[in-house]
Amino acid sequence: MSYKRTPVAEKSVKDLCLMILAATTIHASCIAVPPGRTWQAVTFVPSASKPGRGHPVAQLARQVAFHNDADNRLTLDLGPGIEADQRTVRGDRFAVPARYRERVEGKHVLLVDDTWTTGAKAQSAAVSLKEVGAAHVTALCAARWCRYEWESHRLLLDRCTEPYDAYFCPVTGGTCPTN
């Protein structure tokens, strides 16, 4: 993704930030339906290459529309399993620092990721959050990494003929019942 490059592609950063803001503004009520309440804490999937708040996906997470003030944000640490097979879901890939556990326990946590490739990193982060008491974890990814030469992706890519539509609900797969 060009927003991670050096130098940073500013238009890509702005586009992704707007996508996160739009998704969490327009679809907040649908995201809240399965757990019965909107998110109460926000975090992001950290990267081994650029850990911490300096990672570009941290900027995306700061664009979340609601419950995103400093008291509701947390940063996951990299765990000992970070270097393990990247396609395997592991509870030890990430860790919730002790100082953030009260922000997680019994809460609905919105987990922001920039790209869903296999899902292992986002799912590993969700496992870490659940292990310290998160009641619900909802993952919001800005993009899906697809390759046409991967047979399992061909059908999806062949069906993507329409431009991005912010009103297309990522939860219901259609129109939000509340919009």
Question: What pLDDT digit, counting tens, does each position of 73-109 carry?
Answer: 999 999 988 888 888 999 999 999 999 999 999 999 9
Q: What are phi and psi of 76, to 5 degrees?
A: -80, 145
Neighbours of 102 (CB within 10 A): 13
Average pLDDT value for the chain: 85
3-state secondary structure of 107: coil
Contact indicator for 148, 154 with CB cutoff of 8 Å: yes
Mean per-residue pLDDT for 24-40?
88
Q: How much is the pTM? A: 0.85
Looking at residue 169, what is its pLDDT?
85
Q: What is the dihedral of CA 171, 85, 104, 54, to 10 degrees?
A: -90
Task: Tell me the percentage of the chain whose pLDDT exceeds 70.
Answer: 90
Residue-level pLDDT at 47: 78
